[in-house]
C-alpha cells in the first residue's frame, strides 16, 4: 500500500551553510607594569635634583656652554664606531641563536634603539622595540628578545670587568668609586634574583633562558667577537667623555681623567636614570672629586657628555621616521 504524503504541510528549510565557529582569541602574555619605566625615570630625576641642590646649576650650565661643533663632530664619529661594534655584537649572537639579521638592518635598528633609550623614560624602551621589531620580521619574537637580552647583558658584563681591571691595574684612586658603582649594580641584580627565586614559574623560566644563553655562548669564536665588540664600545664611550673633558677645560694627566671617565661610564649601567641622566652625573662628581679634579669639573664634563651623546644618536630619529613612513605607505597600498 502506498503511503500518502501531505504535500501541503510546511517543510523545514535546510540552512544554506553552517554557522562559523566562534573564534577564540589567544590570551596575550601579561605585560610588565607600565609604571616601571616611570619609576626609573623618577629615580634619575630625583638624583639630578639632589645634585643641583648640593652643587648648584653652574656646573650644568658650564657643561652646556662647552658643547662646540668640533666636539659634536668627534662625538658623532665615536658614536658611529660604538654603534657599528654593538650592532656586530648583536648580529653575532642573533646568528648564533638561529636568527636572520642583515648587517645594515642591525646598524639602523641599533641607532633607533639608542635614540629611543635616550629620549624615553627607563632607558630600555629602545631595546624592547629592537627585539620586538626584529622578532616580527623573522616570526620569532621570543628568540629575538633573548638575543637582545644576551647582547645587552654580555656588553654590560664585559664593560664592568674591563673597566674594573683597568682601574685596579692602574692603581687609580677612583677604583673605590668604581667598586661602589659595581656594588649598586650587584645589589639591584641580587634583589631581582631574590624576587625571581620566590616564584616557581620564575625559577623555571630563568632555568630555561639560562640554558638558551649557554648554548649561544658555547662557541669560543662567538665569545671573542662579543668581547672585541664590547671593548670597542667601551673605548668609544670613554673617548667621548674625554672629548667632553677637553671641551669644559679639565686639565689633568690623561690617566687620572681616563680613570674618572671610566667610573662615569660605568654608572651609566645603573638602570635608574632619566634618559641616561642621574647616576652618571653623581658618579662623575664623586670620581672627579676623589681624583682631585673637583666635583664641579666632573659635573660639567658629565653634562657635556650627556648632550654630546644625545646629539650623536640623532641618526636614530631619522631611522625611526623612515620606518614610520614606510609602514604608512604599506598600509595605504
Instruction: Produce one character per residue of 55-81: b if its CB has 16 or more CB atoms within 10 Å, e if not.
Output: beeebbebbeebbeeebbebbbebbee
Q: Cβ distance 41 to 274 under 8 Å?
A: yes
Q: Which of 99, 64, 35, 128 is nearest to 311 (CA)?
A: 64
Domain annotation covers residue 294: yes
What pLDDT sits at residue 165? Answer: 82
pTM over 0.95: no
CA distances from 136 to 46, 101, 118 (A): 37, 12, 23
Residue 21 in any domain: the answer is: no
Location of C-alpha cell 642573533: 94
d(CA 108, CA 260): 31
Tens-binned pLDDT, residue by residue, of the chain (333 aa): 444 445 454 555 544 544 444 333 333 444 455 656 666 666 666 776 777 777 778 988 999 999 999 999 999 999 999 999 999 999 999 999 999 999 999 999 999 999 999 888 777 889 999 999 999 999 999 999 999 999 998 998 888 888 888 777 766 555 565 566 666 666 766 676 676 566 666 556 556 666 666 777 888 999 999 999 999 999 999 999 999 999 999 988 888 888 888 888 888 777 676 777 788 888 888 888 888 889 999 999 999 999 999 999 999 999 999 988 888 887 776
| N- to C-terminal Cα separation, the chain | 70
pLDDT of residue 202: 57
Domains of the chain: total: 1
At residue 1, the pLDDT reads 45
| Cα separation, 13 vs 182, whole angstroms | 78
Where do we find the cell 639579521? 101
Partners of residue 127 on adjacent β-strands = none
Residue 48 lies in a domain: no
Q: What is the pLDDT of residue 198?
A: 66
- Three-state SS at 296: helix
**Residue 294 domain boundaries:** 56-326
| Residues 196, 198: Cα–Cα separation, whole Å | 5
pLDDT of 104 reads 94
Contact 52, 295 (CB under 8 A): no
Distance CA 66, CA 68 (A): 6
Reading the block at residue 15, the C-alpha cell is 540552512
**Is residue 31 a part of any domain in this protein?**
no
Is residue 105 in some structural domain? yes
Residue 181 lies in a domain: yes
Distance, CA of 237 to CA of 79 (rounded, Å): 8
* 72 within some domain: yes
Give domain status of residue 164, yes or no: yes
Amino acid at each position: 500500500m502506498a503511503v500518502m504524503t501531505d504535500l501541503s504541510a510546511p517543510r523545514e528549510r535546510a540552512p544554506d551553510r553552517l554557522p562559523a565557529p566562534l573564534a577564540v582569541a589567544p590570551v596575550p602574555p601579561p605585560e610588565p607594569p607600565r609604571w616601571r619605566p616611570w619609576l626609573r625615570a623618577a629615580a634619575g630625576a630625583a638624583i639630578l635634583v639632589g645634585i643641583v641642590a648640593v652643587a648648584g646649576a653652574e656646573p650644568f650650565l658650564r657643561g652646556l656652554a662647552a658643547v662646540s661643533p668640533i666636539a659634536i663632530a668627534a662625538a658623532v664619529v665615536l658614536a658611529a664606531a660604538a654603534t657599528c661594534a654593538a650592532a656586530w655584537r648583536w648580529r653575532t649572537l642573533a646568528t648564533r641563536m638561529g636568527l636572520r639579521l642583515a648587517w645594515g638592518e642591525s646598524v639602523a635598528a641599533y641607532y633607533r634603539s639608542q635614540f629611543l633609550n635616550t629620549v624615553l623614560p627607563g632607558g630600555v624602551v629602545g631595546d624592547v622595540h629592537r627585539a620586538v621589531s626584529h622578532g616580527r620580521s623573522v616570526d620569532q619574537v621570543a628568540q629575538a628578545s633573548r638575543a637582545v637580552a644576551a647582547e645587552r647583558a654580555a656588553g654590560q658584563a664585559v664593560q664592568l670587568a674591563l673597566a674594573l681591571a683597568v682601574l685596579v691595574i692602574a692603581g687609580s684612586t677612583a677604583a673605590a668609586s668604581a667598586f661602589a658603582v659595581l656594588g649598586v649594580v650587584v645589589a639591584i641584580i641580587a634583589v631581582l634574583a631574590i624576587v625571581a627565586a620566590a616564584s616557581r614559574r620564575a625559577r623555571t623560566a630563568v632555568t630555561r633562558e639560562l640554558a638558551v644563553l649557554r648554548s649561544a655562548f658555547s662557541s669560543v669564536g662567538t665569545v671573542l667577537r662579543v668581547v672585541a665588540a664590547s671593548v670597542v664600545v667601551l673605548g668609544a664611550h670613554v673617548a667621548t667623555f674625554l672629548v667632553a673633558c677637553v671641551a669644559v677645560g679639565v686639565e689633568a694627566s690623561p690617566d687620572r681623567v681616563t680613570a674618572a671617565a671610566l667610573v662615569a661610564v660605568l654608572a651609566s649601567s645603573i638602570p635608574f636614570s632619566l634618559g641616561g641622566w642621574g647616576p652618571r652625573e653623581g658618579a662623575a662628581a664623586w670620581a672627579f672629586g676623589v681624583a682631585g679634579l673637583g666635583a664641579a669639573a666632573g659635573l660639567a664634563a658629565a653634562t657635556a657628555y650627556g648632550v654630546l651623546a644625545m646629539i650623536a644618536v640623532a641618526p636614530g630619529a631619522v631611522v625611526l621616521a623612515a620606518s614610520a613612513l614606510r609602514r604608512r605607505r604599506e598600509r595605504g597600498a
